[in-house]
Amino acid sequence: MELIRRDIKAGGSMFYCMMNDAGMKMYGRAEYLKIEKLNCIVYKQQFCNENEKVLRKPTFFHNIR
């Protein structure tokens, strides 16, 4: 996993890319909603494209029946 951008704090977010051995890339982002040191991390994680536009589902699922 490659971290492209990270700002790990309440209100911050992280953008990352995962790639498999065949070279297929998947992007994701996490939005940090609440962080309490040593107690709690609340975040929302979503699949997105390389421009951070949120996707309804990863594109590789489109061809699975």
Residues 45/29, Cβ–Cβ less than 8 Å: yes
Measured distance CA(65)–CA(57) in Å, rounded: 14
pLDDT at 41: 94
Global model pTM greater than 0.85: no
Q: What is the domain range of residue 35?
A: 2-56
Number of domains into which the chain is organized:
1
Residue 29 inside a domain? The answer is: yes
pLDDT at 52: 92
pLDDT tens per residue, range 11-64:
999 999 999 888 889 999 999 999 998 999 999 999 999 999 988 766 555 444
Asked whether residue 65 is assigned to any structural domain, the reply reads: no
**Is there a domain that residue 61 lies in?**
no
Question: Does any domain span residue 64?
Answer: no
